[in-house]
Structure 1
Amino acid sequence: MPPRPRRAVRTLAWAGGAALLAAAVAAAALGLGGGGADPALATRTPPATATVTRTTLTDTETVDGTLGYGDTLTITGKSHGTITWLPDEGSTITRGHGVYSADADRRPLLYGTMPLYRTLEDGAEGEDVRLLERNLKALGYTGFDVDRTFTWATREAVEDWQDDLGLDVTGRVRPGDVVIADGPLRVARLKKTLGDSATGPVLTATGTTREVLVDLDVAQEHLVRKGMKATVELPDGTTVNGKVTSVGKVATETGNGADAATTVQVKVSVSGLRKSYDAAPVDVTIVSERRENVLAVPVGALLALSEGGYGVQVVEGSATRYVAVETGMFADGRVEVTGVREGMTVAVPK
């Protein structure tokens, strides 16, 4: 699939608002005659009107992202021998199943975050023992306590496990006997072929859940937070729901010269995907601000006042008057205002 042209970060809420506001400022300034409580009434009905409504205004940011399976992990062989079996690229490997084989012995996957760095056997104590025992229990082996101590009961469970896998029954586990990852793996790319040495990088893998990675400019970092909802637009124009799952703490500088940028990585989970994209460029729209239960009028209803600030032309039957307003948030061509009542009719100059 050829890459789509990328769009720069843009603020959707101001796309129409800024232009209309500029037009209002450029219009002839009006004065309220010192106080503006009840300026002279006009008798000509304006050509277009709108009603002051109570609503929710939403401000959004749209940024570029990449849909994929998250960060890539390199699986490295740590024992001598020859590669005799490899999984297919794109396949999924879960706890207890083989990641690859060396000398016809499977190297099963165990879940955890601590790599094995020593042989686990009778008398060993530590969190790596707890990791092994937790996995043995999840695989259905019993008769031992899940703790930090490798006991005779742990050894018997290891022997049963090794026998079930068709491995040499030793009752101990060496670092090269297993592969440790924090969850199920999806095979991304094979680094070895059958007959290669089992030492060194064997394959790369990712998690099994698709997510969107966004390199967010640090200037926009304040707009996002964990748990925030998002909308993800796919290459075919369809959209799916998303949610921010993490916001990076470390800024990274990329590019050179005029293309240099300082970014943090934002991860967005997605749901409702119906098409299988291994990787694809996407647009991520995030709700950066929301104002609920506010009064709003079209931005085009604002008029610049000669004494400063803004006002609106209130329509009352066949007459009109000008009322000063305070502006708040701009979004979707509307602006939050105070100084008028809900249900009032205001002119919208063309």
Structure 2
Amino acid sequence: MAETVTHADDAPDADLTPPPRRGRRTALIAAAVAVVAAVAVSGALELGGGGNERPGAPPRAGSVVPVTRATLTERTTVEGRWGYGTELPLPVKATGTVTWLPEQGAIVARGEELLRVDDRPVTLMYGTLPMYRPLGLTPPEDSGNPADDGSGGEQETPEKPERNRDGTSPNPSGSPAPHGAGTRRDTGSSPLPREMRGMDVMQFETNLAALGYTGFTVDERFTTSTARAVERWQKSLGIAPTGTVGVGDVIYSAGRVRIGQPGTRLGSTVGENTLTYTGTARKVTVDASAPDASWAVRGAKVTVELPDGTPVPGEVASIGKQATTAEGGGGGDGSGRPATVPVTITVEDQKSVGQLESGPVTVEYVGREVKDVLAVPVAALVALAEGGHGLETEAGEFVAVRTGLFADGDVEVSGPAVREGMRVRIPE
């Protein structure tokens, strides 16, 4: 512990001189008040939030507080945007004229119409595999080969019995025909259609069954039973029951979609940006400074403060892979604006945010955290004349301390003379 020396010039008038120990404390505080105020303001304003909140109002000047063991958490805020995220174009593969479009903001679920092309509905289904080919039963190739029944083998049909000129049977006794007789390879009959197979078949059949059209096995085989279910589904849509699903009849997404800004008008030809969509869950997008984006880790917990001041819990869902610079700035051009990376934050409890669809929000995240450290209110720090910071004990003695993390109006302190439970005074 360093002894603090006061000079005669610093002493107050004789008639106002307090006891010697009190005078030394007053002189020390007067000399250090500017530094202490700067430290207190810096600690209070630069950092917010903490894992060990002290109840009640800040300690009053002259009061005595204990040194406590706590967890201090540094929290930082960044600005974000509340909304449904970036609008993406729907992969419309139907060709023709747009005859109906949904309203912007409409929610479309499985089995519902996304739009109509040539007055034919384009339906939403759930899945990750895009629609890349028509689905249905396909006829075998007309190559003169034996008919393919879908199993890969040849199909045999009964041979018509031979007759005598008078119409009688050459084998009137009805005895069995010789081995190999009585059947023949049928190469002239109509071949059976072949089953289509693939994961896209299973994906479509899963949706068909979820919509209530059953009577088939959900697997990778498009069978005649599947075709009959497709016909029932097509009748419900008001289109011809062909049993075949066209490549432009269905669009897949991971779930329900929210319709965005249309890229065309009724009567126009279908194009790449005919219709856009987003997910149905509102989220936060933050353009985080690339040098300071270490907090943006998938799964990290954050707090989102809505425009009305309501805090709601959020979670980092994704981080962009590529940093971008603001137009005319950043990237070492001398503008002082660093490159940013997009960070998407989800809010699980969508009801907690009410009806707000868009607007600016503030995101608070944990920067640093120290656990099981000694801490005091920032206001308890005093600047020692010989340099550094110290604490004044309840008995009026000063002890030197090292400061660590500032958070929530508290500061981490350490030193050989500091111990948990020690009571220190808030300078007047």
Q: TM-score range by the shorter chain?
A: 0.7 to 0.9
Give secondary structure in 2 for the equivalent of 1:261. coil
Deviation at 1:306, TM superposition (A): 7.5
In the alignment, is residue 287 of structure 1 matched against residue 373 of structure 2? no
Counterpart amino acid of residue 226 in structure 2: T
Alignment of 1:152-301 (within 5 A): 152-257=224-329, 258=335, 260-270=337-347, 271=349, 272-301=351-380
Q: 1:323 maps to what in 2?
A: 399
Shift in Å, 1:234: 2.3
Please name the residue that 2:86 is paired with. 71
Query: For residues 200 and 220 of structure 1, what CA distance do their matches in structure 2 show?
Result: 37
1:66-117: CA deviation from partner (whole Å, max 9, x where unpaired)? 1001231212432333322221111110000000112222111011222212
Report matched runs for 1:124-163 at 5 Å: 124-163=196-235
Contact 2:290/2:341, CA 8 A, preserved across alignment: yes
Structure 2: distance between partners of 1:322 and 1:313: 4
Q: By how many angstroms is 1:268 displaced?
A: 1.4
For residue 392 of structure 2, what is the aligned residue in structure 1?
A: 313
Distance 1:332 1:240 in 2: 20
Rate the CA distance shift 1:117–1:261 in 2: closer, same or farther, 3 A. farther
Relative to the length of structure 1, the TM-score reads: 0.78
Alignment-derived partner of residue 421 in structure 2: 343
Which runs of structure 2 are paired with 1:39-118 in the superposition (5 Å)? 47-118=62-133
Q: 1:260 to 1:176 in 2, by over 3 A?
A: farther
Give 1:262's aligned amino acid: A
Q: Return closer, same or farther for 1:255/1:160 CA change in 2, 3 Å cut-off.
A: same
* Deviation, structure 1 residue 179: 1.7
Match for 2:419: what amino acid?
R
**Structure 2, unaligned runs of 5 or more:** 1-35, 44-60, 138-194, 330-334
Contact 2:307/2:360 (<8 A) preserved: yes
Percent identity, aligned pairs only, is: 45
Q: 1:19 to 1:132 in 2, by over 3 A?
A: farther
1:47 and 1:76 map into 2 onto residues whose CA distance is 70
> Structure 1 residues 206-215 or 294-303, which shifts more?
294-303
Q: What is the SS of the residue equivalent to 2:292?
A: helix
The CA distance in 2 between the partners of 1:190 and 1:18, in whole Å, is 57
Separation in 2, partners of 1:187, 1:21: 51
Counterparts of residues 23-34 of structure 1 (less than 5 Å)? none
TM superposition score normalised by structure 2: 0.65
Local SS of the residue matching 1:213: strand
Q: Which amino acid aligns with 1:158?
A: V
Q: In structure 1, list runs of 5 or more residues that go unmatched.
A: 1-16, 25-45
- 2:410 matched residue in structure 1: 334
Return the offset for 1:52.
1.2
Aligned length: 310
Secondary structure of the residue that 2:233 maps to in structure 1? helix
Structure number with greater Rg is 2
- Deviation track 1:274-293 (CA, whole Å, cap 9, x = no partner) reads 54233211111112333344
Residues 68, 304 of structure 1: CA spacing in aligned structure 2 closer, same or farther, 3 A cutoff? same
The structure that is strand-richer by fraction is 1
- Read off the aligned partner of 1:98 and give its amino acid letter: E
Matched AA of 2:221: T
Give yes or no for contact 1:81–1:199 (8 Å, CA) kept in 2.
no
CA deviation profile, 1:283-315 (whole Å, cap 9, x unmatched): 111123333443211223334567876432222
Structure 1: 4+ residue segments shifted above 4 A: 21-24, 303-310
Q: Partners in 2 of 1:259 and 1:223 — Cα distance?
A: 21
Query: Aligned Cα RMSD in Å?
Result: 2.8
Whole-Å separation in 2 of the counterparts to 1:208 and 1:124: 34
Give distance in 2, aligned partners of 1:172 and 1:223.
Answer: 51
